[in-house]
Amino acid sequence: MTTKLDVTFGVYSGRFGQLSEYIEAVTPGLILNRRGLPLFVESTIVLIEAWHEDLLASLVALATCEKEPETRRYLIGQGRREAADCTLESLIAMAVGRIGFKNRGQRMEEIFLELFGFSPWPNDTIRNQIVDLGLLRQIVVHHSSGVLGDDYWNQLTDKTLL
């Protein structure tokens, strides 16, 4: 029997298969014309990080469905009083809204600890790498590849990424 979790991970895995095929297809062109390389790197970072955030959001959404009362109590405790009597759809939106990398992903870590009993990252090194990629995505998408000293830049632990 296929579960919702199987489907979630299958979609994520399939995307990486497509990305691998894409990289194979464009590499010969990049070898001939290196001017396209920066855009290729930026677009790959954006795709990977967007898919990663989508996977984390899907996991939180599934857990919210399975642990609705616990999620309501947790969100109420976080100041979201409307979580007490909102629809499940609204509750999922509130829970998924905690997925992000602001403040080193603190809100995401808190909801993961509440719903799953563990952190979304196995150690601080991995946390720093994942959060930096999330911040890099924000810089690429929303800040024209970054401005030295902006809020996203200041949160990076590894500034060599830029």
Give 43 or 143, the one with higher predicted confidence: 43
Q: How would residue 143 be classed by pLDDT, with cut points 50, 70 and 90? A: low
pLDDT mean over 87-99:
97
Q: Give the Cα separation of 117 and 59 in Å (integer).
A: 13
Evaluate if residue 147 carries a pLDDT over 60: no
